[in-house]
């Protein structure tokens, strides 16, 4: 008698819904085709709108989750009127926010108020709280910010889980992925604080790479599955390029490569061969 191979659930989550119309359209297409498990929404993005929310609800149906992509870095602006610090009316850069967080120079009450405002915008657009919460450019794993976020989520979305960005213990650690090594260290503290607060997190994370124009996502993706346990998260950034994306974000053409790969039969075959199915 042949033993049936166990199948592991994979959370494949597209970041940045709402950043730009062409990005949102590509994510909706993948969700409708069941090539994604979920997407997280930037309610602070200037092009996010009620119509984008309605279209996403239709594409996600009952088979995909919708989360909040907490946004606290430039070039985006806060939803709260008294957030500080600001840089020409926008959040500081990732380096500016991360640096202040590491030396505890941020106003935690202001951070919590901003996360609550983005949660409220999500509820207004979708009629419910987010299923999960993560952070644009992983800003939510930094000190002060993680604590403010956990407090806000317990108030505004008590059933939501929070994405931690640490890789599985058995996953290979590559020096060619310095971002992954930094996220491993910062996420250990996030996991501990979330556990203390009773906020669930994902068991493991993957998907970091350089976003260089020549990056071959189709060759990188199989490595993201290495050592990934049941319920693990892989982030992705599929999309098409439009003027709004070019204005707001340096990551452009790699999004089209991700979109093309996730539409391919190679992606479908890989999941089947490695024993994964989308959560």
Annotate 220-259 with three-state secondary structure: HHHHHCCCCCCCEEEEECCCCCCHHHHHHCCCCHHHHHHH
Q: Give me 53's structure tokens.
A: 């929310």
Residue 222 is part of a domain; what is its CATH number?
3.20.20.370
Exposure b/e, 179-216, CB count within 10 A at least 16 = b? ebeebbebbebbbebbeeeebebbbbbbbbbebeeeee
Residue 2 lies in a domain: no
Q: Bridge-partner residues for 38, per DSSP?
A: 13, 65
Taking residues 239-260, what's their average pLDDT?
97
Reported as a single tens digit per residue, the pLDDT across 68-91 is 999 999 999 999 999 999 999 999
Residue 161 lies in a domain: yes
Cβ-based burial of 47 (10 A; exposed 0-12, middle 13-18, buried ≥19) = middle
Residue 3 lies in a domain: no
Say yes or no to pLDDT of 261 above 80: yes
Task: Give the integer Cα–Cα distance in Å for 254 and 273.
Answer: 25
Distance of CA 217 to the CA centre of its chain: 17
Say yes or no to pLDDT of 120 above 90: yes
Question: Contact, 14 vs 36, CB < 8 A?
Answer: yes
The range of the structural domain enclosing residue 207 comes to 8-278
Residue 1 lies in a domain: no
**Domain count for the chain:** 1
Taking residues 192-203, what's their average pLDDT?
97
Question: Contact, 155 vs 131, CB < 8 A?
Answer: no
Reported as a single tens digit per residue, the pLDDT across 23-44 is 999 999 999 999 999 999 999 9
């Amino acid at each position: 008698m042949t033993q049936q191979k166990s199948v592991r659930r994979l959370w494949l989550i597209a970041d940045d819904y709402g950043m730009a119309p062409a990005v949102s359209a590509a994510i909706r297409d993948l969700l409708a085709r069941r090539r994604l498990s979920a997407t997280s929404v930037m309610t602070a993005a200037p092009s996010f709108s009620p119509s984008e929310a309605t279209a996403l609800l239709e594409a996600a149906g009952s088979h995909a989750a919708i989360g909040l992509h907490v946004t606290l870095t430039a070039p985006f602006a806060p939803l709260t009127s008294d957030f500080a610090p600001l840089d020409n009316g926008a959040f500081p850069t990732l380096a500016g926010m991360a640096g202040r967080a590491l030396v505890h120079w941020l106003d935690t009450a202001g951070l919590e108020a901003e996360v609550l405002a983005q949660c409220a915008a999500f509820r207004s657009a979708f009629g419910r709280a987010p299923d999960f919460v993560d952070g644009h450019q992983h800003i939510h794993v930094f000190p002060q910010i993680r604590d403010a976020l956990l407090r806000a989520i317990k108030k505004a979305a008590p059933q939501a889980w929070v994405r931690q960005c640490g890789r599985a213990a058995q996953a290979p650690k590559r020096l060619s992925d310095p971002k992954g090594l930094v996220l491993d260290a910062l996420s250990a503290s996030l996991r501990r604080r979330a556990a203390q607060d009773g906020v669930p997190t994902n068991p493991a994370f993957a998907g970091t790479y350089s976003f260089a124009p020549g990056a071959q996502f189709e060759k990188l993706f199989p490595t993201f599955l290495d050592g990934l346990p049941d319920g693990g998260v892989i982030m992705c950034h599929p999309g098409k390029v439009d003027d709004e994306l070019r204005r707001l974000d340096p990551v452009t053409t790699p999004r089209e490569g991700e979109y093309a790969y996730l539409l391919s039969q190679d992606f479908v075959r890989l999941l089947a061969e490695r024993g994964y199915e989308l959560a």
